[in-house]
Structure 1
């Protein structure tokens, strides 16, 4: 599908974004491991989360879907059944890595695979600690890439020092730790997003968090519950950036998750001079939630590096567009993890913005953007990356002429109504 984006005069509206992708995944997985019924409201019915549902259904779990409401009927930690076929994670790294942790604790054989893009993403980072806990895992490329063949069960608890700050690695080990006797601990070089530990606690597991160290006690009795998924801040940020530089723009996004391990993009936008107000803060299903209002202003360049990177890694394509439209220089460093997403997002973001006329230089672990150049509409590839397609659309709103985005249907992974939402907000 090709989408054409035309420039806008202003953006105005009051809306909600789809449910958080990370939380939707975890709610289904823990619902599958819990006893009784788990009701999930505002579930994200995107392709990645639907892959998670299909995987747990293949493991014998009863799941019912009604638009953005999902009911999971779990039978406890020991109720999952050996699948009759290969488990397909689609394009979802979260599905593959977190389910690898769960399957490592199950006393049967399973195979996890995904699409061509996912089969190129590194899996050794989860295979190594899960194997050390006792799972037998064999995969392609010398235990580097999917498919992964897993024979699980009889795990030992562990203390794992992760070389990278990765919520997916941490979560895989913690989920495997549910099946082990004793306490399993993950220590990270920097604290990564904490949705898994929050939700484990919400479902009844014993969790201890000390700065960069997280521990889970094995063999808990997880209890099914009601989960209300907040709006996905990673989706909201694209709309916020779209409005940030437009004089007269005024947008309110309701019920957005503002988890401090995910809200780094809001801090960066504030540093750049964005007119952002966060209000009506509250807790919903163990997660901090708020409403966010942004009005158009003039942005300036900034530096994005070090400790804040894990808290905005998925939002960097949107922030790169903000930087291209800002005055002055923006430097992004310490973001090499971008190279291991759905695409190499350092290379693809640089290619996109260069093609539109931005002054952007690729670096090994990020990029340098000298903002202020007028962007020009162009015909660009999404490379099947939902974040890149949305970044191209936001840039196209502020470019001269028409921007055409190829393979734009990839936004269905996280924000199926994204282009319709832009149309509703746009004042021509």
Structure 2
């Protein structure tokens, strides 16, 4: 589906969708809990639907008891020997070790760009922890069979924190205690989210600076009532829109959240954007913007929003952490360079893990989403200050994380 975004200004308030990172973790914990958990503020983007499908396949009973409320009776009792994770990288890395808790073989399958993303750190870790694991030359499909025993393991965390998150949620149910040493840990805020979510369900995970974890085996997840907070990844994009094309107030979010993408506030301040940080809302307003420096190593999902901000700033902005972008829905750094280039914005990527974005005028044109939800949103946001309409090919991919993005963008437009 192609969508054309005309230039224009925005003003208004919105509520972002729920954090799919928290939602998927809470769904997994609810599956593992003995009893009935209640999750509030659940919204159904593609990735959350994939996680829901996974927990049902693995034995959970799920009832929707309100517009955004789910009642989940846990219990790991697989109903099939195939687990379809869709195109969700987190679901693949989250439910593979959970599936390895059982004694029956389980084949984990995915779709689309996920089939190109690496799984070998997970399969290697599961083998060392006593389970059977076989992958397809390091990628999906993956077959696993338990039991997951536990033990001591060193894992490379440089590719993604998702591999560690999956192990952290599964290993409390292993037979033995586990000590997990994570080399080159990235996206530490996401690991903190995992530890805090497990704690909400009565499971303790001890750690040393989120690089060394001690997980006692034989624990039990307890049912919980959990309200999923608003998504800072979506909020970051909307705040970038406010900072470059008018004024946007994002409600039901807090800068005290553990979500990694709260770091966008630092970039907004450094760029000179107008910013109001309230208890449960943040407003960004357009001001003359200046180039800024930012390290996105631990929050790589911010790159597309930062590109919106930097393209509107005077000078050359420097963003570190481009190596984190290779194994996303596309090679996100190259996609940003190529598509912003079509709109007249120069982006350089060097071998030192750095992206340099030259701020300037944007031109109208035709661009591709590369099938990546965050690239599509970034290009739509930037298009608001172009000198003509921008047509985005494959814009429907926003359903992966923010199905109502284009509707919200249209509603914010100043008539």
Output the TM-score relative to the length of structure 1.
0.91
Tell me if 1:347 matches 2:334: yes
Shift in CA distance, 86/343, structure 1 to aligned 2, threshold 3 Å: same
- Which among 340, 344, 357 is matched to residue 357 of structure 1? 344
Question: Structure 1 stretches of 5 or more lacking a match?
Answer: 281-289
State the Cα deviation string for residues 37-63 of structure 1 (Å, max 9, x = none).
111111130011101111111122111
State the Cα deviation string for residues 82-106 of structure 1 (Å, max 9, x = none).
3424211111000000111211222
Who is 2:182 aligned against?
187
- Distance in 2, matches of 1:276 and 1:157, equals 48
State the Cα deviation string for residues 250-292 of structure 1 (Å, max 9, x = none).
3221122532643222212211112222221xxxxxxxxx321
The residue correspondences of 1:379-418 to structure 2 (distance < 5 A) are: 379-418=366-405
Secondary structure of 1:326's partner? coil
Per-residue deviation, 1:363: 2.7
* Contact 1:45–1:67 (Cα < 8 Å) also in 2: no
* Contact 2:126–2:148 (Cα < 8 Å) also in 1: no
- Distance in 1, matches of 2:354 and 2:68, equals 36
Tell me if 1:320 matches 2:307: yes
- Distance in 2, matches of 1:400 and 1:159, equals 54
Shift in CA distance, 389/154, structure 1 to aligned 2, threshold 3 Å: closer
Who is 2:248 aligned against?
251
Secondary structure of 2:149's partner? coil
- Which among 151, 160, 172 is matched to residue 145 of structure 2? 151
- Distance in 2, matches of 1:331 and 1:240, equals 19
Secondary structure of 1:146's partner? strand
Tell me if 1:168 matches 2:162: yes
Per-residue deviation, 1:163: 4.1
Question: Structure 2 stretches of 5 or more lacking a match?
Answer: none
- Distance in 2, matches of 1:422 and 1:261, equals 24
* Contact 1:189–1:212 (Cα < 8 Å) also in 2: no
- Distance in 1, matches of 2:294 and 2:134, equals 38
- Of 93-102 and 215-224, deviating more is 215-224
Who is 1:114 aligned against?
110
- Distance in 1, matches of 2:311 and 2:399, equals 26
Secondary structure of 1:24's partner? helix
Tell me if 1:267 matches 2:261: no
Secondary structure of 2:281's partner? strand
Secondary structure of 2:304's partner? helix
Secondary structure of 1:375's partner? coil
Who is 1:197 aligned against?
195
- Distance in 1, matches of 2:222 and 2:286, equals 45
- Distance in 2, matches of 1:138 and 1:121, equals 15
Shift in CA distance, 159/139, structure 1 to aligned 2, threshold 3 Å: closer
- Distance in 2, matches of 1:204 and 1:377, equals 53
Who is 2:30 aligned against?
31
> Aligned residues, how many?
406
- Distance in 1, matches of 2:148 and 2:372, equals 38
Who is 1:303 aligned against?
293
- Distance in 1, matches of 2:85 and 2:3, equals 27
The residue correspondences of 1:210-289 to structure 2 (distance < 5 A) are: 210-213=208-211, 214-246=213-245, 249-256=246-253, 258-259=257-258, 261-280=260-279
* Contact 1:98–1:168 (Cα < 8 Å) also in 2: yes
Per-residue deviation, 1:161: 4.2
Tell me if 1:293 matches 2:266: no
